[in-house]
Amino acid sequence: NIKEFTRVKPGSKAFVHYTPLKTIDRFANNSNLKFRYYNTAYMNDPEEGEALINYLGSNVIGAYQNAKKSEELNVYLGSFLPAPELENKLVVWRTYGKDENKEEAAGCSVVLRGNFFDQETGEFYNQDKEKIETDYHRPRFNDNLHKVIYLDTANLEKPHHDIQVLDLLKELSISLEEVMSIKKEVEDEKVYAAIDKIIFLMLSELTYFFKSSHYSYENEFRVIKFETGEKVKVDTEAIDLPRKLYVESKRPLLRYIQKVILGPKVKNQNQWQYIDALAKQNGFNVKVEPSGIAFQ
């Protein structure tokens, strides 16, 4: 229910992703290259994934933390912002528009058409076109874009919280407590460990649908994928260690790029027009333009 509530519906507008210029160079040079969603283990925000956990009761938090010690992180994430509102904003250039050397505003923003993302609802139907009721099933939400829910966990009753969000949280909390109640009925360490694992698997993905209200100005959207096995790849091109795990988008990226905006601190901006020339060689037009924002 949380996933469906946050899912961006068909016919969505454009979205923007901030990235170093070397990334857009790779995409312009290869029309078959797909977008990479990186494992959440590499996120550097200490509060990431904590907003939902902080809302839940101590019993659930304990179970989640117990399993987290031994379970792999199989969640992969891509971050996007609404365009045109945030495709060229000073505060975003400072936070996300960095180059590979972490210099602020020296990267670029890539504006993507909304149809890059999945448009289907993710529901299952049988051969008679009857809806199939499924259990918790991650793959059906593969490349859907979801709007992040911002929570003020210190005061959930504030007016800026959507009443439907609060209802969904209560529903989730009740379901988790029902699972936790099994521990009271069975005295078995193996059962305890199994329940902790169930709690972890339910929450390890859902936590990334929520962020602290401190970051609500970002108005972030995310693709959140739970993947294991052969779909998981290792970034063998990376110079720095440890190498990163990632999974690919279903669609090659280049054909969905509307334009590229060069960060305010990108040097020799006219020289980056070759990005459009490369894209044209692959059959696509990519407009390249400077930010125009004064930045010191």
125 sits in the region (left: phi over 0; alpha: psi -120 to 50; else beta) called beta
pLDDT of res. 194? 92
CA–CA separation, 30 and 253 (whole Å): 9
**Rounded mean pLDDT of 117-122?**
69
Instruction: Report the pLDDT value the prediction gives residue 130, as an integer from 0 to 100.
Output: 53
Rounded mean pLDDT of 180-192? 88
Per-residue confidence (pLDDT) for residue 47, from 0 to 100: 74
The whole-number pLDDT of residue 77 equals: 94
Confidence of residue 55 (pLDDT cuts 50, 70, 90): confident
Cα separation, 115 vs 131, in Å, equals: 25
Q: Does residue 213 surpass a pLDDT of 70?
A: yes
What's the rounded Cα separation, in Å, for the pair 230 and 227?
A: 9
The confidence band for 219, taking pLDDT boundaries of 50, 70 and 90, is very high
Give CA–CA dist 107/262, Å, rounded.
7
Q: How far apart are CA 161 and CA 152, in angstroms?
A: 8
CB 116 within 8 A of CB 221: no
**Interatomic CA distance for residues 91 and 216, integer angstroms:** 13
Q: What pLDDT sits at residue 149?
A: 92
Structure confidence at residue 69 (pLDDT): 86
**8: region left, alpha or beta (phi > 0 left; psi from -120 to 50 alpha):** beta
Structure tokens at 88: 């060229």
Q: pLDDT-based confidence at 135, cuts 50/70/90?
A: very low
Question: Does the predicted model carry a pTM greater than 0.75?
Answer: yes
How far is it, in rounded angstroms, from Cα 255 to Cα 286? 9
What whole-number percentage of the chain has pLDDT above 90?
54
